[in-house]
Amino acid sequence: MATEKPILAFLGVGLMGLPMTLRLLQSGYRVHVWNRSRGKLAPALERGAIESATPRDAAKSADIVMLCLLDTRAVEEVVFGPDGVAEAEGRGKVLVDHSSIRPDATRTFAERLASRSSMQWVDAPVSGGVKGAQEGTLAIMCGGHPEAVDRVRPALAAYARNITHMGPAGAGQTTKLCNQVIVGSALAVIAEAVTLAQSSGVDATRLPEAFAGGFADSMPLRIWVPRMVGGYAEAIGTANLLLKDLDTAADLARSTGTPLPMAGLARELFRALAAQGKGDDDPAALVTLYRKPRD
């Protein structure tokens, strides 16, 4: 018994949003797209996406509205600003926020959207990076009403292998902050392991091979050791994006009385990198903190 596919809108077609949108198109979804800078829409439009003039227009056309934006402020603007999502009638519709934003703001936004337009909110931040988006292997941590999560699950499966419902609105964002506590700290630690290997005469490029299948193995190890040792053609994520998440985690930790010594140190190391003017660089740049310039 085939049911008709819901019509989608995707707002924020950037580094992550573009490959996610392309996978939705490949899966046969009709996708309305909007982006602050229109230039970035081209690859999606070439593959059949339909351009919307505003977030409101996109929300009018769609059953499910996906967001993948930079930060809390951008989400508030796109949802509640002029011509925002909240200006469209939203009964029976679901907003899926793939952005990584504050859990407390998420709870407020969810209530505000429900009372303004009756649209339901699912927070659904992702882990797995651009490669995970391209290959459809993202991990998505969801917060919201269970029925809303179940409704959007088939569409999310276009780019995610693992979709976990963690609790009410905000629970996805809280889980993502726990994720970033681990990832941000892991990147800082990998930079140390690489540096220790190099300074001790061991070929650091071979660490992922040596650690494969052991306790030190991880996706960040396999992706970032080569980038830290040999450099990279382009950034996959930036130090400042990680720093933003580590700062949000620190706010949550403070408000809940949770000590985060390791993640707190990682945060200040990424801030040191930003202070050196390298915040927009790949997180792999962290290794330069421990090396002579020009090494």
Residues in 204-243 that interact with a copy of itself by CB under 8 A? 206-207, 209-221
CA dihedral 245, 249, 250, 256 (to 10 degrees): 160
Nearer to a copy of itself, 201 or 277 (CB): 201
Query: Is the distance from CB of 287 to CB of 194 less than 8 angstroms?
Result: yes
Site string for a copy of itself, 144-183 (x = CB under 8 A): -----------------xx-x-xx---x--xx-xxxxxxx
Q: Which of residues 61-100 bind a copy of itself (CB under 8 A)?
A: none
Element (H, E) at 248: helix 239-256
Stretch that binds a copy of itself, among 24-32, 40-48, 67-75, 254-262 (CB under 8 A): 254-262
Nearer to a copy of itself, 80 or 290 (CB): 290
The verdict on 276 binding a copy of itself (CB under 8 A) reads no
Element (H, E) at 162: strand 160-167
Stretch that binds a copy of itself, among 75-83, 114-122, 129-137, 151-159 (CB under 8 A): 129-137
Distance CA 218, CA 222 (A): 7
Stretch that binds a copy of itself, among 2-10, 30-38, 148-156, 250-258 (CB under 8 A): 250-258
Stretch that binds a copy of itself, among 39-47, 75-83, 111-119, 126-134 (CB under 8 A): 126-134
The verdict on 130 binding a copy of itself (CB under 8 A) reads no
The token pair at 66 is 């996906």
292 is catalytic: no
The verdict on 128 binding a copy of itself (CB under 8 A) reads yes
Distance CA 174, CA 184 (A): 15
The verdict on 275 binding a copy of itself (CB under 8 A) reads no
> 3-state DSSP call for residue 137?
coil
Pairing of strands 126-127, 50-51: unpaired
Candidate list 261, 277, 293, 294; residue touching a copy of itself; CB under 8 A = 261
As measured in angstroms, the least distance from the Cβ of 129 to a copy of itself is: 7
Nearer to a copy of itself, 118 or 255 (CB): 255
- Where b means 16+ CB within 10 Å and e means fewer, 196-233 reads ebbeeeeebeebbeebeeeeeeeebbebbbbbbbeeee
The token pair at 137 is 């292997």
> 3-state DSSP call for residue 14?
coil
- Active site residues per annotation: 176
